[in-house]
Chains A and B, each alone.
Chain A
Amino acid sequence: MNCQTLKEIQSGLLTSKMTAEQLVAQYLKEISNTEELNIYVQVFEEEAIEKAKALDEKIKSQPNNLGKLFGAVVSIKDVICIQGKPVTAGSKILEGFESLYAATAIERLEKEDAIIIGTVNCDEFGMGSSNENSIYGATKNPIDPSKIPGGSSGASAASVAAGTCLISLGSDTGGSVRQPAAFCGVVGMKPTYGRVSRHGLLAYASSFDQIGILSKSVEAVAATLEVIAGADEFDSTVSTLPVPDFSKTEPSDKKYKVAYFKNALKHKGIQPAIKSSIDSVLEKLKIDDHSVEGIDFSLMDFVIPTYYVLTTAEASTNLSRYDGIRYGHRSSEAKTLEEVYKKSRTEGFGTEVKRRIILGTFVLSSGYYDAYFSKAQKLRRLISEEIESIFEKYDFIIMPTTPDFPWNIGEKMDDPVSVYLSDIFTVLANLAGIPAISIPIKSEGELPIGIQVMASKFKEKELMDFSEIIIKKDLNEQS
């Protein structure tokens, strides 16, 4: 029973090769076997077993009435609200907080018979690329425990890679789903901005944040997206466009027009092994009669500065709600109202979060607003327009997901700029609001490599069909 796709699991359950209870027990065993990786914040052991038993009943009594995600066991990043459960964003500021409601994505998963097995670690409020910035400590990479799993949804990727669940929901503000997916060798997708409701997702940078999905197969990611996507009365930024049948994703015979950025592949920080794996996929696509062209993206060097000005500004505003009064940590030292704010926040937030709040406050402050915040918003328009003009000529853009392999735990803790620069290939999709996916491809070494594919807004279906083509091509070569 080593099922990697939802279809395998569902057919196993329908043909009584296994029960949901056995499936959940297997995942719970893996969770306890991998405890030293520090993946889970909470495990809902009893509830998951109860739900599995109920599902086994339903499979017997109402086999025609099963939800789309029956048999899918899911872990949830500790930034998405589950009713009646603690949610802390890996931060002391939210100690003891229990959500009064469920995120729309959670509600939709459960309605389609998915089973939530627990919540998983992350960088505090999604701020980080290594999953080291958390009150729960660093999560380790299941492929090599001396390495970081990436971040901020590092433990989401690790939970899938370690076989403790089929699917994980993470969140992606600048690559937080795709980069850990690449570092842990799984599939990770960030949908179009406005495809999935953010209701119940703790806000970091609201014009960038999207809930993303991680699993070992594109098929499971597609089935999950179909369930969680679509209009929501609680989030008016969600598009009212109809949600396609994502679960019908398949590698078609269609020939696509693909662009890659020459300046990204020539980037000075890129590992030669990563470049050569990407080159080899591009070659295979050419041989398969897809059109593959190298182009230059003129604003490449501006994406990181634009991203950090805008996200820190939005973060400083969003995180002002943590005031020590209505919920979360309150300092026991505070004697005045001003001290309640200052001491609670000072004790509650970690270093990286403080750094971003202060930088965000700076770029929004009087006298600097035009020079930094407004300037970055203008750059964001230029970047979005250049991306849109590329999609007038091409179906997809291919880039590496990351320039580097996962680094050692503790290695870059004192060098925020070098960590920020490692996001160079992923932040583009969030700046432009487009969908992007990271797919694991063949790697010569022991550490995994992710290839990133981006598509025009709301073209997730095409993006996933094409992802299946890449996986098929990449695997064929191996055999």
Chain B
Amino acid sequence: MKIDKDLILKLEHLSKLQLTEEERKNMIGDLNNILKMVDKLNEIDTEGVEPLTYMTEAVNVFREDEIKNQLSREEALKNAPKTDGKFFQVPKVIKK
């Protein structure tokens, strides 16, 4: 597997990041080196092995459906970079 400029542009878009031309060049080199290391995984036959997804044996940890630990609106907006005091604000999304 080789990462090229087209793929890195797609990954930047998916990651919501924008690299400079210089950074992109370095990133392609770094990722290809990392993938060379990672390709080692193909040496092991994993036919029939279930992927390990959860690290605990607990299943269905239930709790009562009660309203608690709420933040007030004021608290929730406290760290927002832009707000009108009631809502988070972002640039206009719908045209017209």
Contact = CB atoms under 8 A, between A and B. Distances in A.
Interface of A: 96-98, 100, 193-194, 207, 233, 236-237, 239-240, 299, 301-302, 304-306, 308-309, 316, 320, 323-330, 334-337, 339-343, 345-346, 349, 351, 354-355, 357-359, 361-362, 365, 368, 371-372, 374-382, 384, 416-417, 420-421, 433
Interface in B69-96: 71, 75, 78-82, 88, 90-91, 93
Nearest to A364: B14
Contacts of A374: 51
Contact of B52 (A330, A339, A377): A377
B67 interface: no
A380 B54 CA distance: 11
Given A362-B3, A381-B51, A346 B18 contact: yes
Contacts of A377: 51-53
Contact of A337 (B30, B37, B38, B91): B91
Which secondary structure characterizes the binding site on chain A? helix
Contacts of B14: 361, 365
Given A326-B80, A378-B52, A382-B49, A361 B30 contact: no
A306 B43 CA distance: 12
A356 B82 CA distance: 28
A330 B82 contact: yes
A10 to B, nearest CB: 34
A358 B63 contact: no
Contacts of A359: 31, 34
Given A327-B79, A335-B91, A316 B34 contact: no
Interface string B17-55: 111000100010011011001111111101001111111
Contacts of B79: 96-98, 100, 326-328
B50 A236 contact: no
A342 B90 CA distance: 13
B17 A346 contact: yes
Contact of A194 (B30, B40, B42, B55): B55
Given A304-B37, A305-B37, A100 B75 contact: yes
Contacts of B50: 378, 381
Contact of A207 (B1, B54, B80, B82): B54
B59 to A, nearest CB: 10
A421 B12 CA distance: 26
B15 to A, nearest CB: 5
A309 B15 contact: no
B34 A340 contact: no
Nearest to B48: A378
A358 B71 CA distance: 33
Contacts of A355: 27, 30-31
Contacts of B56: 193-194, 237, 239, 433
Contact of A305 (B1, B38, B55, B88): B38
